[in-house]
Chain A
Amino acid sequence: MGRKMRRFQCWGWPAMTAAVSIQGVHKRFAALQALKGISMEVPQGSFFGLLGPNGAGKSTLINIMAGLARADAGSIHVMGHDVVSAWRQSRHALGVVPQELVYDPFFSVREVLRLQSGYFGLGRGNDAWIDELLEILSLTDKADANLQDLSGGMKRRVLIAQALVHRPEVVVLDEPTAGVDVELRRSLWRFARRLHREGHTILLTTHYLEEAESLCDEIAILNRGELMTRDSKRNLLARYPWRTLHITVDHATFQLPETLVSLLTNADDNCLTFRLHREQDTIGEVLAALQSAGLTVVDLSTEEVGLEEVFLRLTGQSGENT
C-alpha cells in the first residue's frame, strides 16, 4: 500500500501502530507560528487528553489530523495512514466531533446520518448501525425531526453520531462539553467512557481540567504551539508530589514547633496551612508536633494537587480554567 507505518513500544508489549503519530508538525498563519515542531504519539486504546490554553495550537493540530488544514512541515499518521498521501484511509479511521454546534438546516437527524454514512461509501447496509446510534444517544424519538428544531444538547448528540457513523477507530472530541449543562456533561462522559471501553482510541480536548483528570489516562499539554509535556496522568501528577494540609487550632497565639516551620505556608490567626511532601511528610507527624506544643486541633482538611496545578505550572497560567 506504500504507506508509512508509525510504531510505538509499550511496556513489554509487541510493537503496534500508534493510533495517531505526529512528527515534527509546523504550521504558521501569517505572523503567528501556531505549531512549532510538535512530535508525539497517541497510543491505540488510550483515552488521551490534549490540553492547552486558548491559542496553544490544539485545534490547529486536530484540523491537520482531520485534513481541514495542511501542515507546513512534518507529518501526521492516523492508524498508520498518512493524512496527506493516504487521506481516504486516514479519514476512514478518524471520527471528529467538532467544537461548534454546526448542522444542516435542510435535513432531519436520520437524513444527516444517512448522508454522512454515504459520504464514507456506506449504503443502506449501515442503517442498522444508524438506528443503534440513535438509540444509544437517546435520539430515536427525534430521528425524523429537523435539526434546527432540536435543543443544543440534542444537536451535540447528533454531532457525536455523525462522527461515529462510519465506525472510526479513533474518535476526536473537540471541547465536547463546552457550554452544556451538568446533566448532559455527565451523560457525554459516560458515553465517552463506553466508547473507550469498546476499544476506540479517544482524543479529547477540553478546557475543563477536572474532565481530563477524570477521563484521560494519557495527557499532552500544548502551549503557544509547543509541546510542554506528554505523559501518563499518573506520572504527571506524581511530578508534583505535594499536598496541602489546613489545620485550625484552639489558640490564636502560640509557638510553632521548630520541625513544622519549614512546612508552614500560611498562618491566619489560628488557621494554619502546611505543604507536605506525599512521601516524606505525614499528617500524623504534624498532628503530633502540634499536640506536643500544647495545641488542640479543632478542624482539619487536605487538598491533593490536581492536574490543574500541573497545567498551571507548565503553562505559566493563572486562574482556574485554561
Chain B
Amino acid sequence: MKAGFNVRGFYTLFAKEVRRFLKVTVQTVLTPMVTALLFLLVFGQVLEAHVEVYAGVNYSAFLIPGLMMMSIIQNAFANSSSSIIQSKMTGNLVFVLLAPISSLEFFAAFVLAAVVRGLLVALAVYGVAVLFIDLPLTHPWAIAVFAMLGSATLGALGVIAGIWADKYDQLAGFQNFFILPLSFLSGVFYSIHALPEIWQQISHFNPFFYLIDGFRWGFFGQSDAGVVMSLSVSLGFLFVLSGLALYLLFKGYKIRR
C-alpha cells in the first residue's frame, strides 16, 4: 500500500462494486435498457410524424440521447445508493469501515463503479437503438465527457443518499420524488424551447437539463443552452456533490458513531 492512497484497497472496493451489479445484470443492465427502449418505441411511434425538435433531426433520433442520459442518471444513482444502504442495513459495511480505506478511496470506488454501470446501460441502449435509427456522432468527445459527468454526478448523489437514508423507504422517496421528476423534466422528451417561457426559466435551475443538453449536443451539434454553459454547470454540480459526499464520509455521518 502506497502512503497516502491505498490503491489496492480502492481498486478492490471498486471491483467488488462492479462485480456486485454484474451478478444481477438482468436487474441492473437489461431491465433499464428495455425500459428505455420501450419509451423509444412508444414515444417515437406516437410523435415521430408530428414533432421535429431540431432541423433535420427526426424525433426518434432526438429521443435516444435523452433516454441514454436518463438511464445513466437513474442507474448511476441506484448503483451507489442501493449498495451503501444495503450494506448499512445488513451490517456488512463494517468490513470496509474496519479496513484502512480513506473517505476519498471509498468515494472514488463507489462513484467509479456507478460510472461503469451508467455507461454500460447507456451503451446497451445505444447499441440496440442504432440498429433501427440513424444517429449522428457529431462531437464524440462531448458524448464521452457528458456521459461520464452524468454518471459520476449521480454516483456522488447516490453516495449522499445512501449515507443519509436509514431505510429503503427513504431511498425510494429520494429516487421517486427527486431523481425521477428532475430527470423527466430535464428535456429527455422535448426541447425546452417547446415549453412556455416560465417553464423554460425553471428548467435552467434543473442541473440534469445541462447534462442532457450537453450530451445531446455531442450527437447533433445543436443544443438549448450551449455546450460551454452545460459543461460549466455540470462540472460545478459534480464538484458540489462530491464535496458534500466527501464531507459526510469524512465526518462519518450515519456510518461511524
Contact = CB atoms under 8 A, between A and B. Distances in A.
A63 B99 CA distance: 13
Interface in A122-137: 122-123
A118 B91 CA distance: 19
B98 A121 contact: no
Nearest to B23: A106
Interface residues of A, number: 32
B126 to A, nearest CB: 28
Contacts of B252: 70
A63 B257 contact: yes
A112 B16 CA distance: 9
Interface in A55-89: 63, 66-70, 87-89
Interface in B81-128: 87, 90-92, 94-102
B92 A102 contact: yes
B12 A115 contact: yes
Given A68-B94, A98-B91, A91 B99 contact: yes
Contacts of A322: none
Interface stretch (B3-11, B69-77, B150-158): B3-11
A13 interface: no
Contact of A120 (B16, B23, B90, B100): B100
B92 A68 contact: no
Query: Main SS of the interface on chain B?
Result: helix
Contacts of A70: 252, 256-257
A96 B98 contact: yes
The interface size bin for chain B is 20 to 34
B8 A123 contact: yes
A47 B9 CA distance: 30
Nearest to B83: A106
B20 interface: yes
Interface in A234-293: none
Interface in B1-37: 1, 6-9, 11-13, 15-16, 19-20, 23
Contacts, number: 82
Interface string A98-122: 1010111111000010011011111
B20 A106 contact: yes
A206 interface: no
Contacts of A98: 91, 94
A119 B12 contact: yes
Contact of A121 (B8, B20, B87): B8
Contacts of B91: 98, 100, 102
A29 B257 CA distance: 9
Contacts of B99: 91, 116, 119-120
Interface of B: 1, 6-9, 11-13, 15-16, 19-20, 23, 87, 90-92, 94-102, 252, 256-257
5 smallest CB-CB distances across A and B, nearest first, come from: A118-B12, A121-B1, A119-B99, A102-B91, A88-B100
Given A116-B99, A118-B15, 5 more contacts: A70-B257, A98-B91, A102-B91, A102-B94, A103-B90
5 contacts: A88-B100, A102-B95, A103-B90, A121-B7, A123-B8
